[in-house]
Amino acid sequence: MSSVLKELKEYGLSPKKRLGQHFLIDRNILSKILRLARIGKEDTIVEIGPGLGEMTLALSQLAKKVIAIEIDSHLVVRLREKFAHTPNIEIVEGDILKMNFSSLFHRETSSLRIVANLPYQISTPLLFRLIEERDRFRDLHLTMQKEVAERLIAPPGEKEYGPLSVFTQMVSIPTILFFIKPSAFFPPPKVESAFVRIEWRKKALLEIEKEDWFKKVVKGCLGYRRKTLINALKYSGLSLPEDLERRLKDAKIDPDRRPDTLTPQEFVNLSELLKN
């Protein structure tokens, strides 16, 4: 998309490294994202980091409404000028990690969907936040670092398997749809990217009110992933029952396994037996 490079030059703008700005310039990739996101005329799309609005405009032509959230005040000015006469695009200035979603989306009556090219340096904390706020969004279609995408889908025992893998797989079915070369962006990032679909499970593996304790157990165990499970728990700082080893065996969880071999369901079982 030569228009992106032209606009940057015309308005004296340049990508900000501290904000992780990499503008999508490959129109074929944009078309593929739009097709795989399966956008309907009644959808309200939330876009995070719209940049110069190339995808924003394309989304607005397919969806009922687009809410584009941008942290860069210079880009916000440009976007508001650009879409002043496009009534179904709303530009919101702010940091997505700090926003109050209840206030931001209180006027929206239809279910929200996210389609976004995530700024690289916030992709992991933002994914955790979106998982916590999943009741607000029907699904997520996200471009992110290939490394982070592979962590989302990693099975137990793989080096990429960690808390993000467990939390994501506990509540959703994540799928890598395709990979994207650095040359599709300006400036090109140093790593490959991936376009990912995250669809929520009809029923999560754990009730929402038990998630805080579950997260402490997962992080406590995987913080010592090279130790045996029973030793990892002892180092975790968690409050543990005196008959820990017996409880593990009763739950058919081998105390000598490594924590990173436990499936999300086994972590659910583990958190239940430790809490009780």
**pLDDT (mean) for 57-83:** 95
Read out DSSP for 38-106? Answer: T--TT-EEEEE--TTSHHHHHHHTTSSEEEEEE--HHHHHHHHHHTTT-TTEEEEES-TTT--HHHHTT
What does the pLDDT read at residue 276?
A: 67
Structure tokens at 270: 């583990």
Percent of the chain having pLDDT more than 70? Answer: 97
What is residue 82's predicted lDDT score, i.e. its pLDDT? 93
Contact 117, 24 (CB under 8 A): yes
Query: Residue 164 above 90 pLDDT?
Result: yes
What would the pLDDT profile of 245-256 be if each residue is shown by its tens digit? 998 988 889 999
**64-69 mean pLDDT:** 96
pLDDT > 80? residue 8: no
pLDDT in the model for residue 121: 87
Pairing, β 172-180 against β 137-145: unpaired
pLDDT in tens, 143-162: 999 999 999 999 999 999 99
pLDDT at 185: 92
pLDDT score for 72: 92
Q: Is the pLDDT of residue 73 over 80?
A: yes
**Which domains are assigned to the chain?**
2-200 (3.40.50.150), 208-275 (1.10.8.100)
Q: What is the pLDDT of residue 16?
A: 73
Is the pLDDT at 229 greater than 80, yes or no?
yes
- What is the overall mean pLDDT for the chain? 92
